[in-house]
Chains A and B, each alone.
Chain A
Amino acid sequence: MKSATLAPPPGSARRILVWDWPTRMFHWAIVICFTLSWWSVENHEMEWHYRAGMAALALLVFRIAWGFVGTSTARFATFISGPRRVLAYARTLPMRKPGQTAGHNPLGGWSVIALLALMLGQVGLGLFAVDTDGLESGPLSWLVEFENGRRAAQWHGLIFNVLVALIAVHVGAVLFYLLFKRDNLILPMIGGHKRVTDEALRPARKGALLALVVAILLALGTTLAVWNGLPFLG
């Protein structure tokens, strides 16, 4: 009798963990880094631009590591899907009901990959970029010739535009889910939990503490070495 009352009645809503705190922290911290990078370069605050770029590098290295050893919903293996699943999911988009997923859906997973890859590329180019005067330059610019540093800076400017476009698509998709599909994706990215009715959905399995420590150390170590300009390469 008691066990029957404990089990949730079929079809009723329950709250499950979707995003663990490291993944949420990464998300909002990278939003801050992106905004700070943009603001600082527009206002010629290059010291802040470098700091924001280094913070973004640490966050991206951490997120990639967490994509291999972290919480189930953060793992690449969980959210990277083949074309068939992506197409099947895309067909359900016009349906006006929340998508029953806990974590990235097959389409959104690829959007995350694209965003991560572009941001990594953007930070990577920034490391080698040199301004037209040779005054301001990324920490690894000493490894490249002036002309190649200039090329890196030009690509840095181009990729920024692509990144802005992709972020617009990302925000647009979130709004589409909120307004059309009545599925609030924003709150779970803040609080971590989502209300679901599908009984088949399982809460995220949390990553191990050791994995978290290793991912953080890897991120900090990489960033520190890059910030110092990888002097051992000289």
Chain B
Amino acid sequence: MIGKCLVVISIILVSGQEMAVAQPSRSDIIQERRQNFKAMGAAFKGLNDQLRRPAADSAVIRQQAARLSAASDRFAAQNWFPKGSGPESGRKTEASPAIWTKSRDFAGMRSALKAQTRQLSAAAATEDTNRIRLAVKAVGQSCAACHKHFRNDD
């Protein structure tokens, strides 16, 4: 009984400590990751814009692909989702609880995105519009698949 109580108390203490560690930078971290997602959205739109034009500007495509790849690298490398930085922080965020309950899957999807945006950059260098189109589509599917599991809708 006492043992059980001790376990419970230590869990509370440990999680409390974790919260305390995440606390000081939490609001900045939400801002930081949001900026990164916005940059990804703008870069993705930049790619789609070129593919919509009758003649795509390959320089712009390379530039936007590089921007998307850099943002995906940061997303994979940074610990942008510390515990306590979900909606429970009181801030406006669409972070789903699955980010923390399935953190390994979340990390896997981030790495997959990183790899796919590298492939997109490689496709952009070939200036082969069909290859670029396919690579853009693959990245988009990657985004959507991850959002389905790890982002709250509305």
Binding site for B on A (CB under 8 A): 130-135, 137, 139, 141-142, 146, 149, 229, 231, 234
Contact = CB atoms under 8 A, between A and B. Distances in A.
Contacts of B143: 133, 135
A135 B44 contact: yes
Contacts of A231: 52-54
Interface of B: 37-38, 40-46, 48-49, 52-54, 140, 143-144, 147
Contacts of A131: 41
A234 B54 contact: yes
Which 4 A-B pairs rank lowest in CB-CB distance, beginning with the nearest? A134-B44, A134-B45, A142-B49, A134-B41
Nearest to A143: B49
A142 B38 CA distance: 17
B45 A229 contact: no
B44 A141 contact: no
Given A133-B40, A133-B143, A135-B140, A141 B53 contact: no
Contact of A137 (B40, B45, B54, B144): B45
A132 B48 contact: no
Contacts of B43: 134
A141 B42 CA distance: 12
23 contacts: A130-B45, A131-B41, A132-B37, A133-B41, A133-B147, A134-B42, A134-B44, A134-B45, A135-B48, A135-B140, A135-B143, A135-B144, A139-B52, A142-B48, A142-B49, A146-B38, A146-B41, A146-B45, A149-B45, A231-B52, A231-B53, A234-B53, A234-B54
B54 A141 contact: no
Contacts of A137: 45, 48
B41 A132 contact: yes
Contacts of A132: 37, 41
Nearest to B43: A134
A134 B38 CA distance: 9
B2 to A, nearest CB: 51
Nearest to B141: A135
A141 to B, nearest CB: 7
Nearest to A233: B53
Contacts of B41: 130-134, 146
Nearest to B137: A135
B29 to A, nearest CB: 19
A141 B49 CA distance: 8
Given A134-B48, A135-B140, A137-B48, A146 B42 contact: yes
A130, A133, A141, A142: most-surrounded residue (chain B CB, <10 A): A133
A9 B138 CA distance: 74
A133 B47 CA distance: 12
A142 B52 contact: yes
A234 B55 CA distance: 9
A37 to B, nearest CB: 17
B40 A229 contact: no
Contacts of B140: 133, 135
Given A142-B53, A231-B54, A133 B48 contact: no
A181 B25 CA distance: 65
B147 A229 contact: no
B37, B49, B140, B143: most-surrounded residue (chain A CB, <10 A): B49
A132 B147 CA distance: 11
Contacts of A229: 52
Nearest to B147: A133
Contacts of B48: 134-135, 137, 141-142
Contacts of B46: 134, 146
